[in-house]
């Protein structure tokens, strides 16, 4: 895999998570080797979709008509073969560019998470799609379990250009209607939006019976506000610059941050949504492997 496509697949992270399946806790549509429970009785043989041939696929499912038209091998995928369908919803608004001294940006950290989860999901034969959004959906990549699909997702991550404000709540409502088959929705965002709108949008996913994981990604400075002396704060997402003495704002800022965080945690818990706070100063391999291990332990209780 070319370097530009693999820069977000950190070997240390992949080693730690390689034995931890991201298995849905809830019943999902589809069946694969007993890994995911199926809501269906018996098996459906209804045609679902085509996917590119991979070594080891049963040759009897090759679609020779498609081969005759495209000169490429595709297999017919039927409902009993369809697996967990996941979508990674990636916030590309301008605030995701922020990085304090010595840390990577929230955007880069989110890219590492997205790449690692996509790798893991495809590795366990689950399909995964990618949605890039700010105040609108910028890119919608349908879910696929093809190994070649991972290259496409990594390519999209490498092209990100955060510029606009976010409108997370409205986007969630749109996507909850757009993603038809229930499955797993993974959200990567700093959640810089009104908490009521955010939670209302998240409830829409749950209403559609999706399982939801929210990775709340923040920089260390955004959680501790360690600034001193007169500071010029750069405005992101159309906000103006602000010159002020941060010491006068610190207590109020931290109080607002804690209130927002608690509201999101409580709202997610009440809706059976996994809420995962992420600090970009912490190593991704530790954070991700710990979460997946906790998730797996909870599921088997």
Confidence of residue 216 (pLDDT cuts 50, 70, 90): very high
By mean pLDDT, which of 153-162, 214-223, 291-300 is the weakest? 291-300
Judged by DSSP in three states, 263 sits in helix
- Report the chain's mean pLDDT, rounded to a whole number: 81
- The span from the CA of 151 to the CA of 159, in Å, is 13
153 CB contacts (<8 Å, ≥6 apart)? 114, 115, 118, 128, 130, 141
CB 77 within 8 A of CB 50: yes
- In sequence order, which residues have a C-beta less than 8 Å from that of residue 70 and are 6 or more positions away? none
Residue linked to tokens 């939006």 = 193
- First CA to last CA distance, the chain: 39
| Measured CA distances, 101 to 153, 161, 220 (Å) | 29, 21, 10
Specify the pairing of strand 137-144 against strand 127-133: antiparallel
Residue 41 reports pLDDT greater than 50:
no
Q: What is the number of H-type helices and E-type strands within the chain? A: 10, 10
Dmax over CA atoms of the chain, in Å, equals: 71
List the domains of the chain with CATH numbers: 3-27+83-299 (3.40.50.410), 47-81 (no CATH)
Confidence of residue 32 (pLDDT cuts 50, 70, 90): very low
């Amino acid at each position: 895999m070319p370097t530009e496509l693999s820069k977000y697949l950190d070997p240390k992270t992949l080693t730690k998570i390689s034995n931890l399946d991201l298995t849905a806790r809830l019943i999902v549509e589809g069946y694969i080797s007993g890994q995911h429970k199926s809501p269906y009785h018996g098996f459906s043989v209804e045609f679902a979709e085509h996917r590119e041939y991979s070594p080891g696929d049963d040759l009897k499912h090759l679609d020779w008509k498609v081969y005759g038209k495209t000169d490429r091998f595709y297999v017919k995928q039927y409902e009993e073969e369809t697996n967990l369908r996941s979508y990674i919803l990636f916030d590309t608004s301008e605030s995701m560019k922020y990085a304090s001294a010595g840390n990577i940006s929230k955007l880069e950290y989110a890219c590492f998470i997205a790449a690692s989860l996509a790798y893991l999901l495809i590795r366990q034969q689950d399909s995964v799609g990618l949605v890039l959004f700010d105040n609108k959906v910028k890119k919608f990549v349908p879910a696929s379990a093809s190994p070649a699909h991972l290259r496409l997702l990594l390519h999209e991550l490498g092209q990100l250009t955060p510029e606009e404000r976010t409108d997370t709540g409205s986007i969630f409502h749109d996507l909850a209607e757009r993603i038809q088959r229930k499955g797993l929705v993974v959200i990567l965002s700093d959640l810089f939006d009104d908490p009521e709108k955010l939670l209302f949008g998240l409830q829409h996913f749950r209403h559609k019976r999706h399982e939801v994981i929210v990775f709340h990604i923040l920089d260390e400075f955004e959680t501790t506000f360690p600034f001193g002396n007169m500071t010029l704060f750069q405005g992101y997402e159309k906000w103006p610059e602000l010159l002020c003495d941060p010491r006068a704002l610190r207590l109020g800022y931290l109080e607002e941050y804690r209130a927002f965080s608690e509201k999101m945690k409580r709202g997610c818990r009440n809706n059976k949504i996994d809420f995962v706070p992420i600090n970009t100063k912490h190593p991704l391999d530790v954070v991700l492997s710990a979460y997946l291990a906790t998730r797996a332990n909870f599921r088997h209780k």
